[in-house]
Structure 1
Amino acid sequence: MAEGSRRFTAREAIGLVATGFTELPAPGGTYGPDGPLSWQGYDAARARAAARTGEEESVVCGTATFGTTGAGTAESGRAESGTTDSGTVTAVLVSFEFGFLGGSLGERTGDRLEAAHTYARAHRLPVVSLVATGGSRMQEGMRALVQLQRVARQSALTRAARLPQIAVLRDPTTGGGWATLGAGADVVLALPGAQVGFAGSRVRPPDADPAAYTAEAQLAAGAVDAVVPGHELAGTLARWLRLLGDPSAEPASPPPALGGTELPATGWEAVRQARSPRRPRAQAYLDAYFGHRAAIGGDRCGGTDDGMLCGFGSRARDGRTVAYAAQTGTATRPAGYRTAARLVRLADRLRIPVLTLVDTPGAANDAEAERQGAGAAIADLFTAVAAAETPVTTLLIGEGGSGGALALAAADNTWATPDSYFSVIAPEAAAAILKRGPEEVRSTADQLRIRPQDLVELGVVRGVVGPRPPDRPGRPG
């Protein structure tokens, strides 16, 4: 059995991640004889499940503490809502008991989930769900299925209250539980080897590939942010809760330049510097800017793009949380744009400032990119950045190729490094469009005025950052 795939009880799962737990009072609803459908033997089945598991329902709900004393000292010097100055974080915790009728959702399950979310909103706490469920409860028919609408409503209300939701997918996570509490969370983590998919093992087509219904397959498809071994889960959850619980009205300051400091003399020199294999890429900038960070991955539509790095980090200088979306120098694919839009919208809802790093020759323009909806994905990112109420700061660190780069840039707070350029289109393509020969590419680059200093004069960027750290948020050093 793969690590993490064994079926923890609800209480074992709580003990795996939390340093303290206080169960919430169960709501008062009761069933009539054999439930809403008078399903013969339902009362007896529930009684056997209770005797076997020691639980009265398929979920256990309460408040939990995550982290250890002093664990958050280097990450944040301030205590936010739900965060103590000892480094522990408090959240509402929901843990499924798969041994109770397959962790299925019935009306009384819905009562508990609604009460948990209501408590979270009243006390301004995030919600963590440790999911292990086979779906809706057959013995309650449609009365069970409509609990999915109820759960979705509670999740939407918690989202509207600007409170983060994190899901941990245990084995198995299938059916409506996956399609609401699981896939609908802001951050989705999974245990290795867990069975994850909308279709449970008993209702799939007989020729279905079982490998497609795993945490690892969902990660590859962009539906899961990370597969986390059980021994790392407690620390990972505590880190995520601290990062997502640290709002700020201050914009992120642009990182200092890590490469050359000499401004290019010509447009073509700017292109050569930006394309140099020795120029620092996004990974180096993120490593220098953040003390630690946690990544999100995938567009939730079946795609991933390794050329777009997204997540949240604790700034090395002061421990503040900043969200980031960074291009790595490759042609950005539709999944990358959709992932970045997802990141910006989540940060905006949680009131966390955003840093974007622009570095791409342009959007991927192959046939597959068109089939994956390149235009719509770019438009979605343009809209997410334009509509964001949280401050967005952009640093151009390399190539700024056309709209595929501009979609990630803040309209009024974009900066440039000395070894970067921004162009309406690559000089080679511009020359081709203007029916010029290859010998005119360099002069075309000059005419386009793509050097960092040109961009400042044109009002496209606010300034060129130097090698020293910025003195104030939004100001280069």
Structure 2
Amino acid sequence: MTAGVTVADPAWVRCPVCSALLYGKRLRRNLHVCPECGNHQRLDALTRIRQLTDPGTFRPLPGPPPERLDPVGFVDLLPYPQRLTAVQAATGLTEAVVCGEATIAGHPVVLAVMDFRFLGGSLGCAVGELVTRAAEHALTRRRPLVVVTASGGARMQEGVLALMQMATVSQAIAALREAGVVTVSVITDPTYGGVAASFAMNTDLVLAERGARMGFAGPRVIRQTLRQELPPGFQTAEFLLHHGQVDLVFERGTLRGRLAALLAVAAAPVAPAPPPATAAPQDPAPVRRHATDGVLLTAPARLAQPDPWRAVQAARDPARPTTLDYLDTAFDGFTELHGDRLGADCPAIVAGLARLGDRPVAVIGHQKGHDTGELRARNFGMPTPAGYRKAQRVMRLAARLGLPVVTLIDTPGAYPGVAAEEQGQAGAIAESILLMTGLPAPVVAVVTGEGGSGGALALAVADRVLMLSGAVYSVISPEGCAAILWNDPAAAPRAARALRLTAPDVLRLGVVDAVVPEPSGGAQSDPLAAADLLRRGVDEALTPLLAVPTAQLVRQRRDRFRRFGTPGTPACSGTAGSPGPERLR
């Protein structure tokens, strides 16, 4: 828990949480985090800026300070102007936020850092004006905006005009989001009220310092108003992470590195190459067919036909690489983003930002596990509605930032439980499919293990759909099909044969565009080699898509899925050859 003590600079400091007597220099070296219990003491704005930014790079934003206002003539124990004068003298600040430009690990940013010492970091007209100016400056310079929050809420002494600052700053954040300039909020202790309900939570990325507390109403208000007992750890960063409200929780010493990793991916995406000026718009270049530098296979005849039931069992092998395994090996610099912002964080969906070689991407995938404990913890890779909503949030973020999307599919299907139905499972899947049909970003989907039913399709409405040679993709599990049509679970092998779910079958039907080969013995036999093949296959499919204007990508994606089941097409008639591979020849 973060103690309510602002950092001082005496020779010795007693930790307010564990009561340890700490040598001041040691505490400063440890970034004002108690080395005994881990309590993160509050920082003033200038100390926070020194910790985050590259030395000597911070420059205050230009322009005169906002005019001091006393719009309602507020008096409590002191008239409001006297209170302002006193706190300015005590802190050396003109207001409760410090704004400027700097670099973080070489990445240029615009900063707005709040200081709780100044009237509890409250949001008044001047603070709103300064943060809005910072956002507008970030928009002009097209630099990421990083806001560090520490606030008790809106400034009561300025009446309803303070309330209006929530909207003023939020619309400046909205302009940045619409322009594809990344925005990040760093929540520190405490962040409440009008700040929590506006720019602390409406940025692209929300990070929370270990032990920081955030909420709309503070615990004291809740207790006094509703007479409710609060659960342990209520409104702490860890509580918020568990309930899907923040992307990640960090120790203070890791924040600079976390921001650097995120900025490296989110702040400078590779722009798609424009089409030649003299040429008419063309379809994306086809997936390369058997080129010496390519790995993708598009001819079903080149693939061995496995026994379907054995293929299902092999695709479910717990030793097969998972999404997190591929993120560790095929991708670089992955930063996981958590939560659906509505109350939950589904562990069966992993999502975040990474790099594929030199190319920044958003990656979303189902996550199973390698043992019973991990499988249970990850719900056997079966997402809840919160998982699909998390995936949608990251897809929208990718579209705003101009990032391609890569999805890795490995699920027996969406979670079929009562709670999932109560939370709108069908609607969550439907919204994911709808979003992907019009997503203004290149999308490559890869079925890496099980592609089960609508739970898989919710991440597979893509410009290019790939499949590992040992994967399966089906409308229903063989067991489910056997139970419905034969009323006999033992008929699962027969159902697997009837469903045509192996990679050669699905490629022949045109549902996937190409197959990524696996090492001899399957991906589980050589995970590193499998990861290399996956990386090369995704790059091979994604690269030509980057040259296509997004409006054209969306049209062609919709055309691609419009063909399935159209009377007279090979996919509908069941004949060899199909809209997918034929289109790519």
TM-score, with structure 2 as normaliser = 0.73
Q: Which stretch has the larger CA shift, 436-445 or 114-123?
A: 436-445
2:254 maps to 232
1:119 maps to 137
One of 348, 369, 384 as aligned partner of 2:420: 369
2:41 maps to 6
Q: 2: distance between equivalents of 1:360 and 1:179?
A: 36
Q: Displacement, 1:349?
A: 0.9
Q: Partner amino acid for 1:473?
A: E
Q: Partner amino acid for 2:421?
A: E
Q: 1: distance between equivalents of 2:91 and 2:176?
A: 30
Does structure 1 residue 325 correspond to structure 2 residue 364? yes
CA contact (8 A) 1:16 1:230 kept: no
1:461 maps to 512
Q: Displacement, 1:475?
A: 7.1
One of 118, 128, 131 as aligned partner of 2:149: 131
Q: 2: distance between equivalents of 1:12 and 1:319?
A: 34
State the SS of the aligned residue for 1:459. Answer: coil
Q: Displacement, 1:436?
A: 3.8
Q: Which runs of 5+ in 2 are unaligned?
A: 1-16, 18-36, 274-283, 289-293, 297-301, 369-380, 519-532, 544-585
2:126 maps to 108
1:297 maps to 338
Residues 387-437 of structure 1 deviation map (CA, whole Å, 9 limit, x = unaligned): 211101111011111001011013441111111101101111112222442
Does structure 1 residue 310 correspond to structure 2 residue 351? yes
1:60 maps to 98
1:357 maps to 408
1:399-414 equivalence runs, <5 A: 399-414=450-465
Residues 424-465 of structure 1 deviation map (CA, whole Å, 9 limit, x = unaligned): 011111122224423432122111110100010000001110
1:470 maps to 536
CA RMSD across the alignment: 2.2
1:223 maps to 245
Q: Displacement, 1:210?
A: 5.9
Q: Displacement, 1:240?
A: 0.9
Q: Displacement, 1:246?
A: 2.7
Residues 12-65 of structure 1 deviation map (CA, whole Å, 9 limit, x = unaligned): 111121112111135454235xx0001131001101110111111111111111
1:66-465 equivalence runs, <5 A: 66-67=104-105, 88-206=106-224, 207-209=229-231, 211-248=233-270, 249=272, 263-315=304-356, 318-329=357-368, 330-465=381-516
CA contact (8 A) 2:132 2:172 kept: yes
CA contact (8 A) 1:4 1:229 kept: no
CA contact (8 A) 2:444 2:462 kept: no
Q: 1: distance between equivalents of 2:324 and 2:295?
A: 14
Q: Displacement, 1:352?
A: 0.5
TM-score, with structure 1 as normaliser = 0.89
CA contact (8 A) 2:211 2:236 kept: yes
CA contact (8 A) 1:27 1:115 kept: no
Which of structures 1 and 2 has the larger relative contact order (alpha carbons within 8 angstroms, sep 6+)? Answer: 1
Q: 1: distance between equivalents of 2:536 and 2:241?
A: 37
Q: Structure 1 323/454 Cα, relative in aligned 2: closer, same or farther at 3 Å? A: same
CA contact (8 A) 2:444 2:542 kept: no
Q: Which stretch has the larger CA shift, 23-32 or 347-356?
A: 23-32
Tell me which protein shows more helix as a share of its residues: 2
Q: Displacement, 1:372?
A: 1.7
Q: 1: distance between equivalents of 2:166 and 2:151?
A: 13
2:577 maps to none
Residues 147-191 of structure 1 deviation map (CA, whole Å, 9 limit, x = unaligned): 101111111111111111111111111111111111111111111
Q: Partner amino acid for 2:189?
A: D
* Percent identity for Structure 1 against Structure 2: 38
Q: Which runs of 5+ in 1 are unaligned?
A: 68-87
Q: 2: distance between equivalents of 1:307 and 1:443?
A: 29
Q: 2: distance between equivalents of 1:204 and 1:25?
A: 41
Q: 2: distance between equivalents of 1:202 and 1:440?
A: 61
Q: Which stretch has the larger CA shift, 372-381 or 261-270?
A: 261-270
Q: 2: distance between equivalents of 1:210 and 1:431?
A: 47
CA contact (8 A) 2:138 2:145 kept: yes
